[in-house]
Structure 1
Amino acid sequence: MSAGLRLPVLNAPMGGVAGGRLAAAVTAAGGLGMIGMGSTATAAVLATELDHLGQPPRFGIGLVDWVIRNQPDLLDAALAARPTLLSVSFGTDLSWVDRAHAAGIPTVTQVYDVESARRAQGAGVDVLVARGAEGGGHGDMRLATLPLLDAVLDTATVPVLAAGGIASPRSLAAVLAAGAAGAWLGTCLSACPEALTGDGARRALIAAAGTDTVTTRVFDVGQRLDWPARFPSRVLGNEFVTRWRGREDDLAGDQDANVELAAGIAADDQRLAPVDAGQGVGMLVDSRPVGVVLDELCTGASELLARWA
């Protein structure tokens, strides 16, 4: 996948993290910056982040399937913005692909097994993201990145990006050597100053080890979000997770917990608030600009690939 990219990387369109400033910085560094519209996105929020984007030569927009089913004007707004690439994931209705193509916009979606890859390719999706279980945020947690990438590459005839746990030159080189057209990067960019990440979440990410993540639905249940049960979220463990994990049915009916969680999120209280994080989070050591992170990743990966050649 080239599309004029100098670096084989895109940022994952992480809701609440990947705003216009982050997308602009990724594009300026030579990759493709993606604005992420997550669980609570609206057309107005997208308009705000597009204002923060400025006028880069290329950018992408990422949407959540079930959100645009509830808010069709969000998809309309995304198409009207004329992105270089449109991503929609977390659903089985692929009718959005034809709408994007009618507007001349290439498409991408996340896949989790051979069946979903074949279905997306059959619907005309232009690029697939093989998103492994190591990745932060929501996903189908069945296969790790490299086994999934192998399986998808065996069946795909379109470019395949790798996602999940890619946070160092070594892991980037590994997926490129395995045949990925590029990497879909999330957690390794979440602590960058250009990200929408709050200060408390940024500190938590930098302090975390790779073993500090868990997969859970407690934050979706606690916030009354309509995420399908097949897509739990990989997050940093905290007090709220410890208290409610395995008790999701009780949590769904507990209004006090809902209020407590909302207050914790508003206060950026890391004892309560969710922080999406993949298993590569242990590679984060400080908050560095996007350009610095991507230069280190891609220069190091190139050197490793040249050594192996």
Structure 2
Amino acid sequence: MSIQQLQDTLRAHADAIEDTGVVGRGAAVRRRAARIRVRRALVVAAVVAIVLPAAGLAALGVNPFDRTAPVVTPPGPTSDLFVESFAGRTLIDAEVATGRSEMVFTAEASRNTEWRAVCEGVGSRYTLHVAMDDGEPGELPCDVQLLSGRWIAYQFGPEHPVKGEHTLRLWLTSTSGREKAPPVDGQIGAAVYRLPAPAATVAGHQVQALEMDGGSEFRLVRREESMPGARVLSSTYSSRTRPVEVGWYTSGSGTQEVQVYVDGRPETGLPLGNGGPGLVLTPGEAHTVSLRIVGDVPPDALLGLVWREEVR
């Protein structure tokens, strides 16, 4: 989903809110938005010429029911964009650039690695674009932070060579246009981390036991996968005391759209074959997430859902 498409979606949701009585639809929407702590629209940047069962993943933290959601107040720039370790990952190499509109990060690392891109200090006036090995780029509004829940990452699993040079290219444009725009104080950075062994394979994607979101770790507690060729997969989960993260994963030989529903309402869409951590839901009630393939269903299509609970 492009930035323009995201903005159109935000406006459409906002225009749909109206008061219809004592309670009103607007109040209902605000209640629903309040109980979802982090919402993310999945953006996938594919890698060409490389087969990645765990595809390049990207996630965007935004509340689609808030008219001001795309506006992010930028924090002050900092050189500490990356940490030595998190969620089982360990840092291999990193590079940070200040006051530049683009950078190229290259490292000799392949098997069991995760490549991260960040952008701080410029706010949503800028859009960060990221491409791995000249593949199709992904994009997110800045700020994109390592542990905040807004992040872009590419993974190379255990089926890849131990060593192999890869290049991550980052560039900034103004959100209102497409021209490259160097910020005065903003920082962009890229890093590669060593991944631990995957905890499971879900719908063809290797899934980690731990993920980080909003500064908290979430541990895998349940996973579900459809039968091959199924159109729909639904799952319900409830945590009494801890926030839960749900992720969705898909695979198959087609290019159909997969629609994601949370508690009966549309959340986002993604092309078949993509997936990743999705969103964080607050505890205290049951949440139901459904995946639905639009159009013809390939016989090898797989749908998967992964639930994690916050680690205390």
Q: TM-score, normalised by structure 2?
A: 0.28
* Higher-strand-fraction structure: 2
Q: TM-score, normalised by structure 1?
A: 0.29
